[in-house]
Structure 1
Amino acid sequence: MLRVSKLTDYATVIMGHLAGATDRLHSAAEVAQGTGIALPTTSKVLKALVRAGLLRSLRGQGGGYELARPASEISVAQIVRSFEGAVGLTECGSSEGLCEQESICSIRGNWQRINQVVLAALESMTLAEMIRPAPMPIRAVPRRHSASTAA
């Protein structure tokens, strides 16, 4: 199963929360309460998002967190990269030289094609789109079983 980390998932939830109310600054405690994510985890994620340049923080009385730019200018890929690093489904998908089999691998090019499609989807989806309800329910694609794995 391909999956982003829990912190990346929390980051998208937190960014969505902040994108939903851009008219003011938000304290870490308020974000934690609004998202249901524990305060220590919320604080950790907020700090990482500030380091990544996706949020701004202002200290002191009345301080808090806000988006560094409009939600329509922040891609899901940027949020994912801030926690996961380069997006790559396989070692050869994110950068060259990580896999010992790279020079003789017959399927490397196709893994790279798949990686490009996934990355393009993450790049094309903005935070503004993420906070809107999905236009239609997404149904899971049934798994196909080969004859050798069928019971």
Structure 2
Amino acid sequence: MRLSSMADYAVVTMSAAARHCGGRRVSASQLAEETGLPVPTVQKLVSRLTAAGLLRSSRGVGGGLKLARPAAAITLADIIEAVEGPIALTPCVDTARHDCALDSGCTVKPHWGIVGSAVRSALADVPLTRLSEQSR
């Protein structure tokens, strides 16, 4: 399993935003500069992260971006789902999809939900505070 580049960049962006937590607001261009990501990429991520309720954006003088809730209350699962959607390891866990050739007789299909829940739970156990710590 591998995260998409956008999910990875979202984690990097949120970690940078968390380091400003409690301080002044930060702009998307400042986050881009701090992370080394292109400004358009950060702007796209900020839009998704704001829509998911992880960032709060204010316009005007003194405006900018802030975490929408404390960093300790934001998890790796929250960030990944903001960019990728619900965490599901295989398409067959989506009950609306029936495009698998093995769908009718698959003995593993009933278990993928359990596996997906375990993965999501593991990601939900990693708070943003941990991701935003400076490495030693």
Task: Please tell me the TM-score bracket, short chain as reference.
Answer: 0.7 to 0.9
Tell me the TM-score normalized by structure 2: 0.88
Q: Deviation per CA, 1:30-88, whole angstroms, max 9, x where unpaired?
A: 11100100111111111111111100001012211000000100111111111111111
For residues 1-151 of structure 1, the aligned pairs below 5 Å read: 2-22=1-21, 23-93=23-93, 95-99=94-98, 100=100, 101-132=102-133
Tell me the TM-score normalized by structure 1: 0.80
Q: Tell me, what secondary structure is at the counterpart of 2:42?
A: helix
Give the Cα separation in 1 of the matches to 2:42 and 2:91.
30
- Structure 1 stretch displaced more, 64-73 or 21-30: 21-30
Structure whose CA Rg is larger: 1
Aligned CA RMSD, in angstroms, stands at 1.9
Listed as ranges, the gaps of 5+ residues in structure 1 are 136-151
Q: Tell me, what secondary structure is at the counterpart of 1:43?
A: helix
Decide whether the 8 Å contact of 1:71 with 1:127 is kept in 2. yes
**1:134 positional shift:** 7.6
Listed as ranges, the gaps of 5+ residues in structure 2 are none
Instruction: State the number of aligned residues.
Output: 133
Decide whether the 8 Å contact of 1:92 with 1:112 is kept in 2. no
Identity %: 37
Distance 1:51 1:102, change over 3 A: same
Task: Write the letter of the residue equivalent to 1:79.
Answer: I
